[in-house]
């Protein structure tokens, strides 16, 4: 059901935190000559009268100052009183009253000025908060799974995945799991070294982990010398701890890694290790030097080698990782690749997605009205897509579906001040369009009687565009945009400070953040546009960013939503009136993603919605659940309408043809032929018998699996052991062996793909409407399935459960076939109701007389 306009366009609050101090001659003797120091986002006088209740006295406001630093962060009345006490001024505490200070207004103003200038000032408090409900569920489910595996197989090293969206609190919750397991040795291996600060801070600031030891390469210390009676956490990067030297050996300085017995090994930011191509995509627009620095900082110095080693880790973990571990925990906010490969089964996954978060937020508000809502500060996202006028799309339309190509449209040449768009006149028109100042669209609006909500023209959207992020395809594009915005004809844009973080000379990683923070300041008195190719789109928090303009093509939903979630960071004032530490004043209730390539953006939403819950039996339902909390509005050139799940999927799959469907079912990604999967087949007689029933496998022989596994491992071991010392003769022999096992592995793959292509033939003949692979397996036509495919439903189900066939990718292919078939049925006039067709297409074409079909 579409959201009403009042919920789509939520007014943006403009509250600001103030420190005040007042005095009175009518208060009790103990407080005379003192000032009461407080804080509020209300009018100061209203707040003072409110705090006095019925026993009001005459008072004088001595201080009324903003509690903001130049970088937009705030300090509290507690900080002011602590700074005054540090200077020797008396805090006159009586019963529950702790706000009175024996000092002058000048002393309070001095303390405020010092706090404004000193962002590092903090008290000596320790965090003491419990886990949220979902965090407790993650710990409980993981603990139960580990205990069950250990009970049934004492030698098992169980694995578990937390598919947990950013701001879930994964570090704190992972430590709680370690505590529940009574772990004494915890190894945290990250795929993104920049996250170390969070791991150290969470351990050292919460009372639950008092006495725990933290070590890392940065902090120094030898893990083998740590107190064995106290829990130890060692933090390191995957690239450093588990990487190999030039000879293929593990680094000598980390010999201790294999000597210690680890109770829990945590792989953090796991998706960065599992999406090499996506990581490259994120930085593909940077120049070579900048990209190299950026990728090294974010993903390690040898991204390609690292990713290749990761593939070895997946296929031969025992040989690759020299660690004695009791259990593995994997953490990621977007682990779509890991979920699609089927590496983790449902029992090994805890999900906490954007949809879960927003659903919890809504339920909490209904079930506990008036109470603190821990999810309230997390903004709900909106996606606005715009179909550009034909004269602009004609400039850059290409690709499989003849879509508007943002990379081509924003192509630029030159560098720095000399950079210029190839289609400069058209980009100028685009700038005019987004601020509602382009004559043809104004004329269209007059004809239709409705003015579309363009980003920089609609007064309901403008407050959320005070600080925005613009993501462009190339470094030259960022420079060209900065230059164009500065030109005289664009005087309207001169109110915005433009920060080009992809410009030469700007730091990489977190070093690119200071210019942005400096330009934003407190976030109230400034307007900024941050231009980027890939910098600052992962792992940073800028609360004032409330919108992002997607001005480049991004193929992977991981990359798209990693960038989009930058604008979903909370912006709140804690304890606005100083009387309730749990109270929050929310300054950003919603946030916006603006996209100008509708088909591509809706394809991202569709893939993301389906990827959020691979276990969902109906992809349309998964997308429908997502758009409840991520409303999608599409401007078609004349009207702006809210798009439902069916519409999103129809647009996302626009142009799907029988040829494209055939390609989906002939793709190698539908099957897994790595060593892990082949071993699973070899260890199950039922699985081996099933595979031998597939056409072509008897000719290969059952020994083909053992040949591939043994030869590939032997070649890998030889390369690791001898490395560069291999003689020419040995290299030639290894090369021949590689060719042999790779050829046989390819034959296995081809036979499995040939089998997979028979599944759509079965779907074409059956009367049932299949949404997912599970429907193919469970619908009641086993004889037809065996007749068409040559395999029983039970045998196919077994092979799917072992990971031979990739259920996530097959689900997409099944659903694509279903929607294509529905469209075909509708075209022929055949009605589809209640999940079944009234007349099967096969019956219509072959078995049913023409007159009956028509009737």
**What's the pLDDT score for residue 252?**
62
Q: Copy the structure tokens of residue 731.
A: 């290299």
Residue with tokens 């040559």: 790
- Does 362 have pLDDT greater than 90? yes
pLDDT digits (tens, 9 = 90+) for 177-215: 999 999 999 999 886 655 666 788 888 878 788 889 999
For residue 717, being part of any structural domain is answered with: no
Q: Do 308 and 429 belong together in one domain? A: no
Distance CA 314, CA 675 (A): 9
- Give the H or E element holding residue 161: strand 159-164
| CB hemisphere CA count around 694 (13 angstroms) | 26
Q: Do 650 and 679 belong together in one domain? A: no
**What's the pLDDT score for residue 470?**
97
DSSP annotation of 543 reads T
The answer to whether residues 509 and 538 touch, using CB atoms and an 8 Å cutoff, is no
Distance CA 244, CA 492 (A): 55
DSSP annotation of 212 reads -
Residue with tokens 């030297």: 245
Distance CA 516, CA 507 (A): 12
pLDDT-derived band at 720, boundaries 50, 70, 90: low
pLDDT digits (tens, 9 = 90+) for 30-61: 888 899 999 999 999 999 988 887 768 888 89
Closest CA to 785 of 793, 796, 774: 793
Q: Do 683 and 627 belong together in one domain? A: no
Q: Do 287 and 186 belong together in one domain? A: yes
The neighbouring-strand residues paired with 20 are 38, 64
Q: Copy the structure tokens of residue 118.
A: 């000193």
Structural domain count of the chain: 4
| Angle at 334 (CA atoms; ends 330, 340), nearest 5 degrees | 80
Helix (H, G, I), strand (E, B) or coil at 497: strand
| Angle at 850 (CA atoms; ends 844, 855), nearest 5 degrees | 90
The answer to whether residues 176 and 132 touch, using CB atoms and an 8 Å cutoff, is no
CATH assignment at residue 289: 3.40.50.300
Average pLDDT over every residue of 755-763: 70
Residue with tokens 């060719």: 739
Q: Do 332 and 261 belong together in one domain? A: yes
The answer to whether residues 516 and 501 touch, using CB atoms and an 8 Å cutoff, is yes
The neighbouring-strand residues paired with 220 are 216
**What's the pLDDT score for residue 286?**
58
Q: Copy the structure tokens of residue 363.
A: 């339920």
Q: Do 668 and 650 belong together in one domain? A: no
Higher pLDDT, 530 or 239: 530
Q: Copy the structure tokens of residue 473.
A: 């395809």
Tell me the Ramachandran region of residue 676: left when phi exceeds 0, alpha when psi lies from -120 to 50, beta otherwise.
Answer: alpha
The answer to whether residues 513 and 545 touch, using CB atoms and an 8 Å cutoff, is no
pLDDT-derived band at 804, boundaries 50, 70, 90: confident
Higher pLDDT, 89 or 306: 89
Distance CA 436, CA 433 (A): 5
Distances from the Cα of 636 to the Cα of 452, 599, 616, 641, 808, angstroms: 10, 11, 31, 8, 32
Distance CA 235, CA 196 (A): 7
For residue 169, being part of any structural domain is answered with: yes
- Does 666 have pLDDT greater than 70? no
Q: Do 684 and 812 belong together in one domain? A: yes
**What's the pLDDT score for residue 304?**
44
Helices vs strands, H then E, count in the chain: 39, 30
- Does 848 have pLDDT greater than 60? no
- Does 777 have pLDDT greater than 70? no
Q: Do 107 and 157 belong together in one domain? A: no
**What's the pLDDT score for residue 254?**
66
Q: Do 472 and 424 belong together in one domain? A: yes
Distance CA 854, CA 844 (A): 9
For residue 5, being part of any structural domain is answered with: no
pLDDT-derived band at 741, boundaries 50, 70, 90: confident
DSSP annotation of 254 reads G
**What's the pLDDT score for residue 664?**
58
Global pTM reads 0.71
Domain final residue, candidates 91, 117, 143: 117
**What's the pLDDT score for residue 243?**
58
Task: Give 701's contacts (C-beta < 8 A, 6+ positions apart).
Answer: none
For residue 784, being part of any structural domain is answered with: yes
Q: Do 348 and 360 belong together in one domain? A: no
- Does 844 have pLDDT greater than 90? no
pLDDT-derived band at 658, boundaries 50, 70, 90: very low
Distance of CA 244 to the CA centre of its chain: 29
Distance CA 422, CA 429 (A): 14
Q: Do 345 and 409 belong together in one domain? A: no
Q: What percent of the chain has pLDDT over 70?
A: 73
What's the domain range around 44?
18-117
Tell me the Ramachandran region of residue 835: left when phi exceeds 0, alpha when psi lies from -120 to 50, beta otherwise.
Answer: left
pLDDT digits (tens, 9 = 90+) for 311-349: 444 444 444 456 778 999 998 877 766 666 667 878 899
Q: Do 226 and 364 belong together in one domain? A: no
pLDDT digits (tens, 9 = 90+) for 129-179: 789 999 999 999 999 999 999 988 777 789 999 988 878 889 999 999 999
Distance CA 294, CA 305 (A): 16
Average pLDDT over every residue of 635-662: 67
Instruction: Classify residue 668 as exposed, middle or buried by CB count within 10 Å of its CB (0-12, 13-18, 19+).
Output: middle
Closest CA to 798 of 687, 694, 685, 671: 687
For residue 727, being part of any structural domain is answered with: no
For residue 211, being part of any structural domain is answered with: yes
pLDDT digits (tens, 9 = 90+) for 349-358: 998 989 999 9
Name the most confidently modeled range: 75-84, 658-667, 748-757, 824-833.
75-84
DSSP annotation of 228 reads T
Higher pLDDT, 211 or 540: 211
Percent of the chain as helix, strand, coil, to the nearest 5: 50, 15, 35
| DSSP letter string, 662-726 | HHHHT-GGGB--SHHHHHHHHT-HHHHHHHHTSTTHHHH-THHHHHHHHHHHHHHHHHHHHGGG-
Domain final residue, candidates 62, 85, 117: 117
Domain final residue, candidates 87, 117, 147: 117
Distance of CA 243 to the CA centre of its chain: 26
For residue 716, being part of any structural domain is answered with: no
Distance CA 677, CA 686 (A): 14
For residue 511, being part of any structural domain is answered with: yes
**What's the pLDDT score for residue 256?**
75
**What's the pLDDT score for residue 778?**
57
């Amino acid at each position: 059901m579409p959201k009403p306009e009042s919920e789509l366009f939520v007014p943006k609050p403009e509250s600001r935190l103030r420190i005040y101090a007042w005095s009175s001659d009518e208060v009790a003797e103990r407080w005379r000559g003192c000032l009461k120091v407080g804080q509020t986002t209300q009018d100061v006088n209203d707040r003072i009268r409110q705090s006095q209740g019925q026993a009001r006295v005459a008072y004088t406001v001595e201080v009324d100052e903003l509690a903001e630093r130049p970088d937009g962060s705030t300090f509290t009345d507690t900080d002011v009183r602590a700074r005054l006490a540090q200077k020797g001024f008396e805090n006159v505490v009586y019963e529950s009253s702790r706000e009175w200070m024996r000092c002058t207004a000048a002393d309070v103003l001095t303390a405020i000025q010092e706090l404004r200038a000193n962002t590092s000032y903090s008290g000596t408090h320790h965090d003491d908060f419990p886990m949220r409900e979902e965090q407790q569920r993650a710990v409980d489910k993981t603990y139960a799974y580990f205990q069950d595996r250990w009970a049934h197989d004492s030698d098992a090293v169980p694995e578990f995945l937390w598919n947990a969206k950013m701001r879930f609190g994964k570090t704190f919750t992972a430590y709680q799991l370690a505590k529940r397991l009574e772990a004494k040795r915890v190894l945290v291996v990250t795929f993104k070294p920049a996250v170390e600060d969070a791991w150290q801070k969470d351990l050292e600031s919460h009372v639950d982990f008092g006495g725990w030891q933290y070590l890392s390469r940065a902090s120094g210390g030898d893990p083998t010398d740590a107190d064995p009676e106290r829990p130890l956490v060692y933090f390191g990067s995957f690239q450093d701890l588990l990487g190999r030297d030039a000879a293929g050996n593990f680094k000598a300085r980390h010999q201790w890694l294999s000597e210690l017995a680890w109770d829990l090994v945590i792989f953090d930011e796991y998706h960065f290790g599992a999406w090499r191509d996506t990581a490259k995509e994120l930085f593909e627009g940077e120049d070579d030097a900048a990209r190299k620095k950026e990728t090294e900082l974010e993903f390690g110095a040898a991204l390609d080698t690292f990713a290749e080693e990761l593939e070895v880790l997946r296929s031969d973990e025992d040989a690759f990782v020299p660690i004695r571990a009791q259990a593995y925990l994997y953490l990621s906010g977007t682990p779509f690749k890991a979920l699609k490969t089927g590496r983790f089964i449902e029992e090994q996954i805890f999900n906490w997605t954007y949809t879960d978060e927003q659903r919890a937020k809504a339920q909490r508000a209904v079930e506990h009205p008036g109470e603190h809502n821990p999810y309230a500060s997390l903004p709900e996202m909106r996606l606005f897509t715009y179909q550009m006028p034909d004269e602009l799309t004609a400039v850059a339309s290409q690709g499989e579906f003849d879509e508007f190509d943002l990379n081509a449209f924003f192509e630029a040449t030159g560098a720095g001040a000399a950079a210029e768009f190839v289609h400069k006149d058209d980009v100028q028109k685009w700038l005019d369009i987004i601020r509602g100042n382009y004559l043809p669209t104004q004329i269209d609006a007059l004809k239709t009687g409705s003015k579309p909500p363009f980003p920089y023209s609609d007064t309901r959207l403008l407050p959320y565009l005070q600080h925005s992020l613009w993501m462009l395809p190339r470094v030259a594009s960022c420079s060209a945009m900065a230059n164009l915005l500065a030109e005289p004809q664009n005087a309207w844009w001169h109110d915005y400070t433009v920060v080009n973080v992809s410009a030469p000379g700007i730091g990489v990683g977190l070093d690119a953040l200071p210019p942005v923070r400096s330009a934003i300041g407190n976030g109230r008195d400034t307007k900024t546009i941050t231009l980027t190719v890939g910098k600052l789109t992962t792992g940073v928090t800028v609360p004032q960013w409330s919108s992002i303009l997607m001005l480049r093509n991004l193929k992977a939903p991981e990359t798209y939503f990693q960038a989009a979630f930058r604008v979903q960071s909370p912006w709140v004032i804690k304890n606005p009136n100083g009387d309730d530490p749990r109270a929050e004043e929310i300054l950003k209730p919603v946030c916006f993603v603006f996209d100008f390539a509708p088909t591509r953006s809706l394809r991202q939403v569709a893939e993301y919605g389906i990827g959020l819950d691979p276990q969902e039996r109906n992809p349309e339902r998964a997308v429908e659940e997502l758009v409840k909390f991520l409303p999608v509005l599409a401007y078609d050139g004349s009207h702006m309408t809210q798009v439902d799940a069916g519409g999103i999927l129809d647009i996302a799959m626009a142009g799907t043809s029988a040829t494209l469907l055939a390609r989906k079912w002939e793709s190698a990604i539908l099957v897994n032929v790595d060593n892990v999967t082949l071993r699973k087949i070899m260890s199950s007689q039922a699985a081996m018998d099933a595979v031998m029933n597939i056409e072509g496998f008897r000719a290969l022989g059952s020994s083909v699996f053992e040949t591939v596994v043994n030869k590939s491992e032997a070649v890998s071991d030889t390369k690791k052991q001898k490395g560069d010392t291999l003689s020419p003769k040995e290299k030639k022999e290894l090369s021949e062996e590689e060719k042999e096992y790779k050829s046989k592995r390819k034959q296995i793959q081809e036979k499995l793909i040939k089998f997979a292509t028979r599944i759509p033939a079965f779907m074409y003949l059956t009367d049932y409407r299949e949404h997912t692979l599970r429907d193919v397996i469970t619908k009641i036509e086993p004889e037809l399935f065996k007749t068409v495919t040559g395999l029983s439903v039970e045998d196919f189900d077994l092979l799917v459960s072992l990971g031979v066939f990739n259920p996530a990718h097959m689900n997409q292919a099944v659903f694509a076939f279903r929607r294509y078939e529905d469209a075909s049925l509708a075209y022929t006039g055949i009605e589809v109701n209640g999940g079944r067709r009234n007349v099967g297409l096969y019956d219509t074409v072959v078995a049913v007389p023409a007159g009956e079909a028509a009737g």
